[in-house]
Chain A
Amino acid sequence: MRNIFIKNLLEAAETNPDLYLITGDLGYRALEPFRDRFPDRFLNAGIAEANMVGLAAGLALSGKRVCVYSIIPFLVFRALEQIRNDIAYQNLDVKIVGPGGGFSYGNQGPSHNTAEDVAIMRALPNMAVLCPGDKTEATLAIKAMLATPGPAYIRLGKAGEKEIYAGTPEFSIGKILPVKSGDDLTLVSTGNIIETALAAAEILEKSGLSVRILSAPSLKPFDEEAVAQAARETKGIFTVEEHGPVGGLGSAVAKILADSDLQNIKFAKFGMADDSCLCIGSQDYLRRQNGLYPEHIAAEILKQFET
């Protein structure tokens, strides 16, 4: 997805002369096209993320739209106070662009995996939070982000995402996208683990359940109405995300259900365990360790429908 980011950033920069890119010295074999095409609007701030975010605030105060780029832990956690005070509180036009997320860097170890970024960024005022699920969503989310003023955070999958849409869905920040219709239960997914949700749905359908699938590339603002509607129209809501148990998609959906007057709605959230970042392994291995694989998700949901 980072290549999709750069491709769309290049396109946007052709028409918006105020668009800048600052990197914390990462982006090898990804950011070079922007650096070469717009050297005056590219800045490598060095391995110094706190300063990088402060610089971005200075550029934004001077009227620029700025993307800051580093992998998520170095950006979101190292420079969090700068993101909060200098970007979110001042409501500045800075986009926090983080490749990776979840187990994307799996075998690189705990320092590189992230189970908390969405929760933290959702908690910040003024901050839009985006987590696209496939190449189409990534393209649409990046285009929308680069065309919209204000702070935003985007969590980009690392590589190899499949296409899940036949055409181009209608996209706007804050809206959930319908991926598949169904009447018995709803799977809500965010990020590129949508592939796992789709495979789980196939298993469930073979068991005779009609599964609706919603993808949530936008986690803040969040499309509460689409979830509420699914909760009214189907018997269960199940969330799938590559994020920890606190503050992600599952929490956002649980809040909607708690606020509703619906009773007996079936609900479960599938995501990373609280301490899952401490394990080592490939993304696929770590997903399985956390139950984030189709057979497990389908089996857990079927249990709820059998009782």
Chain B
Amino acid sequence: MTRKTTNLAEIAGKIKKLAISVAYKTHSHHLGSVLSCLDILTALYFSAMNIDPKNPKKPNRDWFILSKGHAALALYTTLAERGYFDPELLKKFGADGSGLGGHPDKDCLPGVEASTGSLGHGLSVGAGVAWLAKKEKRGNRVFVLLGDGECNEGSVWETAAFAGHHGLDNLVAVVDRNRLQGFGSTDEILKMNLTDRWSAFGWSVKKINGHNLAEIAENLNQLPISPAKPNVFIAETIKGRGIAEWENKLESHYLTLGEEQYKRAISEL
């Protein structure tokens, strides 16, 4: 079911521009995390997923759960560009009383399937949806985006064991492998061989370049990787991708964009 993917780069550029613009104007944090995963979300929403922005709850849709909820702006801007709602709504990102938090709430905007924010929750919720869909032959697939730091959470591995045991081949995890977490590098803080780990839990594992849109889309359109096994893509990414002085830097998680940075980032796009 490969769809047209030739204009993905153009779409991704528009979403990044929107995300950077919203983050700058609303003085938002976590932009590094947003830019780390926007290419993945673009490939998901514009190539791989069976969705209908005019009918966000259609019964046989594919689900997306942003388990790394701190990248909410990536989800909001992708949904806006995909046509779920007017991008103007994002002017209220983080505003008093807006409902558009830095971590997404279920139904805060059309297309947001589940509330996330505490790490290690999204995969189990997604596994519940996938288990039921498979059992009832509903046809839904469930895509869950996790951070690599998030894989420290024990609950991730409870779900990994469950999904492996039940052979949930309609469950697709994508790990945003930017190699940075709260206080530094993932290798320094809690080193994990993610390929070996996920394999040991019975998942099909594939490494991809998380910024090569054609490669991401091609892989996401050839699912399952192998029958009767859940799927995980370890997507090698760059935190802060597109903002030169923030790339692969921890501060991209915490700092807000200055005017000069903002102008340069937009012009470089």
Contact = CB atoms under 8 A, between A and B. Distances in A.
Contacts of B115: 85-86, 89-90
B4 interface: no
B161 A48 contact: yes
13 contacts: A46-B161, A46-B162, A46-B165, A50-B155, A50-B158, A54-B128, A55-B127, A55-B162, A57-B114, A58-B126, A62-B138, A85-B117, A89-B105
B76 interface: no
A86 to B, nearest CB: 6
Contacts of A89: 105, 115
A43 interface: yes
A90 B106 contact: yes
Nearest to B165: A46
Contact of A54 (B113, B121, B154): B121
A40 B135 contact: yes
Contact of B124 (A40, A58, A64, A90): A58
B129 A51 contact: no
Interface residues of A, number: 23
Given A58-B128, A59-B132, A85 B158 contact: no
Contacts of B133: 62
Given A51-B159, A82-B124, 16 more contacts: A46-B165, A50-B120, A51-B162, A54-B121, A55-B127, A57-B125, A58-B124, A59-B131, A62-B128, A62-B129, A62-B138, A85-B115, A86-B114, A86-B115, A89-B115, A90-B115
**6 cross-chain pairs, A with B, having the tightest CB-CB distances, nearest first:** A58-B128, A54-B124, A51-B158, A55-B128, A48-B158, A50-B155
Contacts of B138: 62
Contacts of B161: 46, 48
Given A45-B162, A48-B162, A58 B121 contact: no
A58 B132 contact: yes
B158 A86 contact: no
Nearest to A79: B155
A213 B242 CA distance: 69
Contacts of B131: 43, 55, 58-59
Which of A54, A57, A85 is the most central at the interface, judged by chain B CB atoms within 10 Å of its CB?
Answer: A54
B124 A50 contact: yes
A90 B115 CA distance: 7
Contacts of B130: 58
A85 B118 contact: yes
A81 B106 contact: no
A56 B128 contact: yes
A59 B128 contact: yes
B132 A54 contact: no
Interface string A275-287: 0000000000000
A61 interface: yes
Contacts of B127: 51, 54-55, 58
A36 B98 CA distance: 48
Interface string B119-162: 01101111111111101001000000000000000110011011
A62 to B, nearest CB: 5
A21 B9 CA distance: 46
A81 B125 CA distance: 13
Interface in B101-118: 105-106, 113-115, 117-118
Contacts of A46: 158, 161-162, 165
B155 A54 contact: yes
A46 B127 CA distance: 14
Interface in A34-93: 40, 43, 45-46, 48, 50-51, 53-59, 61-62, 64, 81-82, 85-86, 89-90
A85 B119 CA distance: 11
B124 A61 contact: no
Contacts of A55: 124-125, 127-128, 131, 159, 162
A140 to B, nearest CB: 30
Contacts of B129: 58-59, 61-62
Contacts of B125: 54-55, 57-58, 61, 86
Interface in A220-263: none
A286 B114 CA distance: 43
A89 B124 CA distance: 16
